[in-house]
Chains A and B, each alone.
Chain A
Amino acid sequence: MSDSQLSATRAPSAGVSLFHYASPQTFFPLAGKLLWPSWIAAVALTLAGLYTGFFIAPTDATQGDSYRIIFIHVPAAWMSMVVYLAMAFWCAVGLVFNTRLSFMMSSALAPTGALWAFVALWTGALWGKPTWGTYWAWDARMTSELILFFLYCGYMALQAAIDDPRRADRAGALIAIVGAVNVPIIYFSVKWWNTLHQGASVSLTQSPSMASTMLTGMLLMALAAWAYTIAVALMRVRAIMIERERQTDWVRQLATGETKA
């Protein structure tokens, strides 16, 4: 009895969802095709960037070899901001056009963005110690990066606390957008606060003229970070699609190996 009920309720929902979730179904194989090129690009660019950074770029006159941390520090800081913007963008798209795929994209991006923010903070601390003598200074950039990290955490915690995926998507989207509006305000306020306080007598301005090989290494690593983020976000969005659309025919066929993707 219960079984027949089950299949009875499932049949129409599968029909509706096929119509409703048309885009995840078509996006899934596309993401799969993009996956390998992104991984290859990430690995190749990382190797090239590390080689340039460690073997071609010279030792910095003022900072010695400690400056080599920037090859991950700066790309990580960039990515943490780019990913937040991308996340907020997908959230806005989702709210406006009511597309589930964009919400899935933003939840797939969040952990990676938080990871980049953490890496930026961690490497910043390790760079700060030899460069200006302290692991942590309440510098404008570090403080805003920390708050950005908290914003990521808030988004993920809110999504995790809500069981209904529809509500989780929308509530998360709202806080992500409010956060994105706040990011420039936070950055400005912290910078202003820092200039007013001028307590710590350290300047984080980098060496004025950067050797071109250093810049090349940094840019290569930044591109590698882009490729990595794309690859891992695609992988995660595929997992999220399977989790959320597990009742649909295409996911069921996929999981049982009846279709390939």
Chain B
Amino acid sequence: MIGVFLSVMRRDLLLAWRRRSDMLTTLGFFLLVTSLFPLGVGPEPEQLSHIASGVMWVAALLATLLSVQRLFESDEADGTLEQMLLSVEPLAVIVLAKVCAYWLLTGLPLVVMAPLIALQFNLTPDETLIACATLLIGSPTLSLLGAVGASLTLGLRGGGALIALLVLPLYAPLLIFGAGAVDAWRAGLGVQSHFALLGACLLVALAVCPLASAAALRIAQD
């Protein structure tokens, strides 16, 4: 089981490495969207630091949505997905491996890039650290929920808009806890509860999303 997990992950990482530009597109999107905000709301440092964490989180949501819909596409196209469905190993484990690889490729780079955006938005070092930590804990949950949406909309017309409609409402709590942590810190309040709740969301998503996604894949390929 662990062997399957690792080999699926390694395969996905290798495939993505051969097509690095896909990964960079998502990252570029993230940086571009966040850089547009100062142009939209004005360059006042006070205001920018106010909205920084929210902007980072919304950009992360959209970047995830943009890329996650292709999570199972190539597997479906080349028949790998069928093999996965027929595999004796639990499908949920395979899905989890794919999501892990996906997060390493798209979620982690966002977290790594976040300090740069924090710099642009005039956050203090403390606030930067908190913003990055929320993204670190929260972005895997974004990937997991996104995988459910991706498997539900696999091969459907209008997939992009549909996945947004399905997944964005589910992202609302993450956005609140994630972006709220920096605000709470600025207001002199503790941030432990924000992190505890983000962690709880991640654990629930880890337990539920691979199963739901596997079920959706079986439905899609029935």
Contact = CB atoms under 8 A, between A and B. Distances in A.
B180 interface: yes
Interface of B: 148, 152-153, 156-158, 162, 165-166, 168-170, 172-173, 176-177, 180, 183-184, 187, 189, 197, 201, 208, 212, 215-216, 219-220, 222
Contacts of A197: 183
B157 A161 contact: yes
B168 to A, nearest CB: 7
B169 A147 contact: yes
A150 B180 CA distance: 22
A170 B166 contact: no
9 contacts: A158-B152, A174-B148, A174-B216, A175-B166, A178-B170, A189-B173, A189-B176, A193-B180, A197-B183
B153 A158 contact: yes
Contacts of A192: 176
**Interface range, A side:** 20 to 34
B172 A174 contact: no
Interface stretch (A16-24, A56-64, A179-187, A207-215): A179-187
Contacts of B183: 196-197
A188 B170 CA distance: 13
B166 to A, nearest CB: 4
Interface in A163-222: 166-167, 170-171, 174-175, 178-179, 181-182, 185-186, 188-190, 192-193, 196-197
A243 B25 CA distance: 45
Given A162-B156, A197-B183, A157 B162 contact: yes
B65 to A, nearest CB: 13
A204 B220 CA distance: 44
B158 A186 contact: no
B169 A167 contact: no
Interface of A: 147, 150-151, 153-154, 157-158, 161-162, 166-167, 170-171, 174-175, 178-179, 181-182, 185-186, 188-190, 192-193, 196-197
B111 to A, nearest CB: 22
Contacts of B208: 178, 181
A161 B156 contact: yes
Closest 5 CB pairs of A and B: A189-B173, A170-B219, A193-B176, A150-B169, A154-B166
Nearest to B159: A161
